[in-house]
Amino acid sequence: MSNETIQYFKGLYTLSAPDAPALKTFSGKSMDDFSKWGLPGPKHEEWKYARVASLFRNDLKFSVEVPSVSESDIDPFRLPGNGTATELVFVNGLYSQALSVIRHPATDIHALSMEDAARAEYGDFIAQNLGHSASYHPDGIHALNGAFAGKGLFLRVKKGRILEHPIYIYHVTDSRHGFPFAQPRSLVHVEDGAQVQVAEQYINIGGQDSFTNEVIEIVAGLDSVVDYYKIQHEGPLANHVGTTHIRQAGKCLTNSVTITLSGGMVRNNLNMIMESEHGESHMYGLYLLAGKTLADNHTIVDNVKPHCFSNELYKGIMDDESTGVFNGKIFVRKDAQKTNAYQSNKNILLGEKASANTKPQLEIFADDVKCSHGCTVGRLDEEALFYLRARGIGEQNARALLLHAFALDVLANIKHEGLRTYVDALISERLGFNI
Amino acid sequence: MYEENDDILGEVTSSEYKYGFVTDIESDDAPKGLNEDIIRFISAKKKEPGWLLEWRLKAYRHWLTMEEPTWPNVQYPAINYQDVIYYSAPKQKIAPNSLDEIDPELRRTFEKLGISLQEQKRLTGVAVDAVIDSVSIATTFKEELAELGIIFCSMSEAVQEHPELVRKYIGSVVPPTDNYFSALNSAVFTDGSFCFIPAGVRCPMELSTYFRINAANTGQFERTLIVAEAGAYVSYLEGCTAPMRDENQLHAAVVEIVAMEKAEVKYSTVQNWYPGDKDGHGGIYNFVTKRGICQGDYSKISWTQVETGSAITWKYPSVILKGDYSNGEFYSVAVTNNMQQADTGTKMIHLGKHTRSRIVSKGISAGKSNNSYRGLVQVGRNATNARNFSQCDSLLLGDKCGAHTFPYIEVKNNTAVVEHEATTSKIGEDQIFYCNQRGMDTETAVALIINGFAKEVMNQLPMEFAVEAQKLLAISLEGSVG
């Protein structure tokens, strides 16, 4: 990476450096790390398939000024049930209070910009928890997001509150006036006993080249239940690098569903940090790719404490010239005895030039554990197709039916009915159901 | 039950390496260090033709531009490549014509290792090439094999007697530029075995090479080349041991296999280099490049390995499935104990159509050791109907050891079917309880379970080797794991 790129971001950093001490130290360190490490190249083991450096073209534009985007620009992309859900909006990576609508009462949640939160009573919490993910991602692209964390969102779900309606986070990039680079950052604190569903939706207005580099960190308290959904359907020119970092601060249940339906180069990191005994987590992923899309899903389950359970299922369907990448790591630390960790990755290759790269990885330092992983790469079962066709179902529909069934294992884990129907419709449309 | 298991594991760590003796023979050494003069010295010692010297120098110059790989999951202090003796040969006045002329001290060494160089070995039907330090000492059954047209001799002999074959195939599967250690090996390799099976011949006996590092401070860099012409079959065995020494010794070998149309090569290894003592002092660094190519259609290469020795193992026997309908197999049991580290696995590169591969890897870790499986299954764009099945299981004995898996799967063809599954666990208390209940003591029960765990791989070994391997497994994990 050129020195110019570093200088470019340094200049912008100086313009926007946060003054609250809780943020200042972290952003400053992140900026230093970025200057030191630069962008990860293809020799970086974690970035072997996702070539991120080539996205830093000369016309890439990063700004700390909120561009003008109106509510009506967002309207077509709003998720179902938006009349009751809280909608938090980022524009080009900057949290926009003006566009956000908080529909939950103040007794349930508190959402504000990271800078405001750091200045208010959340300074200590931010100082302790913001950037916990950094040690898992010692690379320039992750550090670069941290440098601008002040422009992000702080969300608190208050103790013991069971939220019936979800919280939607919309990430809007406006590609109508150039190639935007957005760096949204969020820190979510789900307090003890609270239950919440958080869904992230990505919106590319203009449909031209865009690049989002996101980090969201969720701290889940004792006995809390967190359901996290990530829906990527931004069109083929939207590039994405995102890290979702979920920490189990107390015994709790955390679930995650990641759906990737389109994009240019898409890289998703998902970290589940099992740092309390008896924690449970479920991770599901579906990548349904076409064109030249590359979707790279990296997951880490870090079992720090004993008696945790985790289950992971990622499924991919690759058409045309698309590439699906899966890298799942399960770490079992020395003291994490009685860990049960399962992982499975299944891929179907449809396109003649499609590729699947998968690397399920186990690193185990405790002996009394049960861990397993499995992965498959294959094509549609000819006999199942024949079975359907013999019963009068056309080839197109028979294929769609089988692929839909394949996807359903993941889809069924979206608990919010409206959201599930919404994603199902997107998938059915893609598979070309015609009944 | 925990305590009882701990006791048994305690015994494991106390079991000694039984091949750790040193043979007192005079040897002819090159000075320490590595430079172009040393390479010229080795080449001159072996009376090599000019092209081979050039080939070595080219490899050396390339090596100088390379960096030692750091990606394996192993830790060791930096190796000083100038502190190694690159050539060491037992001093022998004349070349032996028959086995009787071999230094009796040397013969006794191999007898102690349980390898008889005597003709009575005929009964077991194994032809042996014995390599001590840098040179091949003796090859048995050469005449009988020659009648069938099979060439089985040391690499240096092959260079003298069959230069055209050596020149054609050497470096064709593992080019000198392939990796850091293959470049080093290409520059300084001293001996090894050469084996050529002509078209349509089924080799009537097992061919075997026995490697022994004896002299101190030496590195062993042997190079093995096996060529099976169309329709040929050979089963090849390799065994290795070394004395117990406090310093680490380097072993960087290269094995190349070429299988032409309908040929089949079965390569079995029982690797028992000195693993170092309980605290991790000494032991062999085993950095080996092994690769076979299924050049012709319907050819087959199968690797079977039992890895019990070495302080550090870094080895990935691979198969390039180039011919259509070719078949690659990899069976491995890797046992690590005490401070041993192993990063081993395989690569299956599917290029031809209708190619098949199968991987079965069993890792057993005890003590404070770390055992990693690292594998690559790659299906190329044109490899229609490729099929792979991989299974890697790890068994953990003790709470201070680690087991890791890094399987890479890269598929570029939509007709491929690739499956991978892996498990990690310890021996279940319920399994031991079940055995106890039927009157078996815990030790026998653990032995039984381990045996069952490794059986799928053990069954692949030729009979002559299976016995040795079973015993080795028993010694390596004495007490707890039978």
What are the sequence ranges of the domains in chain B?
Answer: 2-476
Please say whether the beta carbons of A219 and A189 come within 8 A: yes
Read off the pLDDT of each residue in A137-162 and give the average, rounded to a whole number: 95
Read off the pLDDT of each residue in A49-53 and give the average, rounded to a whole number: 87
Closest Cβ opposite residue B402 in set A349, A365, A379: A365
pLDDT at B423: 87
Tell how strand B300-307 and strand B264-271 pair up. Answer: parallel
Tell me, yes or no, whether A185 lies in a domain: yes
Is B426 in the A-facing interface, judged by CB distances under 8 Å? Answer: yes
Tell me, yes or no, whether A346 lies in a domain: no
pLDDT at B3: 45
Higher pLDDT: A378 or B125? It is A378
A152 pLDDT above the threshold of 80: yes
CA-nearest residue to B368 within chain A is A365
Here the tokens at position B52 are 């081979």
Read off the pLDDT of each residue in B55-67 and give the average, rounded to a whole number: 91
Q: Residues of B with CB below 8 A from A356's CB?
A: 409-411
Read off the pLDDT of each residue in B280-301 and give the average, rounded to a whole number: 90
| A415 secondary structure, DSSP code | -
pLDDT at A208: 94
User: pLDDT grade, residue A417 (50/70/90)?
Assistant: very high
Give the tens place of pLDDT for each residue, B129-183. Answer: 666 665 665 666 777 888 889 998 888 888 989 999 999 999 999 998 888 999 9
User: pLDDT grade, residue B481 (50/70/90)?
Assistant: very low
**Per residue in B287-320, is it b (16+ CB within 10 Å) or e — as a string?**
bbbbbbbbbbbbbbbbbbbbbbbbbbbbbbbbbb
* Amino acid at the residue A190: V
Closest Cβ opposite residue B420 in set A363, A364, A375: A375
Higher pLDDT: A251 or A42? It is A251
pLDDT at B116: 54
Give the tens place of pLDDT for each residue, B403-434. Answer: 888 999 999 999 999 999 888 888 888 888 99
Q: What share of chain B is helix, strand, coil (3-state, %, to 5)?
A: 25, 35, 40
Among the three residues A276, A301, A335, which one is the final residue of a domain in this structure?
A276
Tell me, yes or no, whether A240 lies in a domain: yes
Of B153-167, B323-337, B441-455, the range with the lowest mean pLDDT is B441-455
pLDDT at B91: 61
Give the tens place of pLDDT for each residue, A107-138. Answer: 999 999 999 999 989 999 999 999 999 999 99
Q: Residues of A with CB below 8 A from B421's CB?
A: 372-375
Here the tokens at position B358 are 């199968």
CA distance A326 to chain B (A): 10
Q: For the CA atoms of chain A, what is the radius of gyration?
A: 21
A200 pLDDT above the threshold of 80: yes
CA distance A249 to chain B (A): 26
CA distance A154 to chain B (A): 37
Give the tens place of pLDDT for each residue, A213-248. Answer: 999 999 999 999 999 999 999 999 999 999 999 999
Give the tens place of pLDDT for each residue, A281-300. Answer: 999 999 999 999 999 999 99
A418 pLDDT above the threshold of 50: yes
pLDDT at A16: 83
Phi/psi for B73 (5° steps) reads -85, 55
B382 pLDDT above the threshold of 50: yes
* Amino acid at the residue B286: N
ipTM associated with this complex = 0.82
Claim to verify: residue A391 and residue A272 sit in the same structural domain: no
Q: Residues of A with CB below 8 A from B398's CB?
A: 367
pLDDT at B134: 56
Phi/psi for B116 (5° steps) reads -90, 130
Please say whether the beta carbons of B242 and B215 come within 8 A: no
Phi/psi for A147 (5° steps) reads -65, -25
Please say whether the beta carbons of A1 and A98 come within 8 A: no
CA B226 to each of CA B157, B166, B236: distance values in angstroms, whole numbers, following the listed order? 14, 10, 9
Residue partners of B337: CB distance under 8 A and separation at least 6: B12, B13, B275, B365, B366, B367, B369, B476, B477
Read off the pLDDT of each residue in B189-205 and give the average, rounded to a whole number: 89
Tell me, yes or no, whether A410 lies in a domain: yes
Is A382 in the B-facing interface, judged by CB distances under 8 Å? Answer: no
CA distance B286 to chain A (A): 22
Here the tokens at position B472 are 């080795």
Claim to verify: residue A271 and residue A417 sit in the same structural domain: no
The fraction of chain A above a pLDDT of 70, given in percent, is 99
Give the tens place of pLDDT for each residue, B105-127. Answer: 666 666 665 555 554 344 345 56
Domain that holds residue A416: 383-435
User: pLDDT grade, residue B457 (50/70/90)?
Assistant: confident
CA dist., res. B437 & res. B435, Å (int): 5
CA dist., res. B154 & res. B101, Å (int): 17
The fraction of chain B above a pLDDT of 90, given in percent, is 34
Flag if A362 and B405 touch (Cβ within 8 Å). Answer: yes
Tell me, yes or no, whether A172 lies in a domain: yes
CA dist., res. B288 & res. B303, Å (int): 14
Higher pLDDT: B351 or B283? It is B351
Give the tens place of pLDDT for each residue, B12-53. Answer: 444 566 666 666 666 667 778 888 888 888 888 888 899 999
CA distance A171 to chain B (A): 32
Query: Which of residues 18 through 57 in chain A touch B, CB cutoff 8 A?
Result: 45
Structural domain count, chain A:
2
pLDDT at B24: 64
pLDDT at B73: 81
Nearest to A281 by CA among A338, A228, A337: A228
Q: Provide the residue count of chain B.
A: 482
pTM of the full predicted structure? 0.86
Angle between helices B2-14 and B442-458 (to 10 degrees): 60
Query: Which of residues 378 through 407 in chain B touch A, CB cutoff 8 A?
Result: 379, 381, 394, 396-407
Here the tokens at position B80 are 């000083």
pLDDT at A44: 85
Residue of B405, B415, B427, B481 to mutate, testing the A interface (most A Cβ within 10 Å of its Cβ): B405
**Helix residue ranges per DSSP H, B68-189:** 104-112, 142-147, 155-161, 163-169, 180-188
Phi/psi for B332 (5° steps) reads -145, 140
Tell me, yes or no, whether A108 lies in a domain: yes
A57 pLDDT above the threshold of 70: yes
Please say whether the beta carbons of B425 and B396 come within 8 A: yes
Query: Which of residues 80 through 119 in chain A touch B, CB cutoff 8 A?
Result: none
What's the mean per-residue pLDDT of chain A?
A: 93
Tell me, yes or no, whether A105 lies in a domain: yes
pLDDT at B358: 95
Of A364-368, B207-211, B453-457, the range with the lowest mean pLDDT is B207-211
CA distance B201 to chain A (A): 38
**Which helix (H) or strand (E) segment is B448 a member of?**
helix B442-458
Is A371 in the B-facing interface, judged by CB distances under 8 Å? Answer: yes
Read off the pLDDT of each residue in B449-453 and give the average, rounded to a whole number: 85
Is B168 in the A-facing interface, judged by CB distances under 8 Å? Answer: no
Tell me, yes or no, whether A259 lies in a domain: yes
Among the three residues A233, A251, A276, which one is the final residue of a domain in this structure?
A276
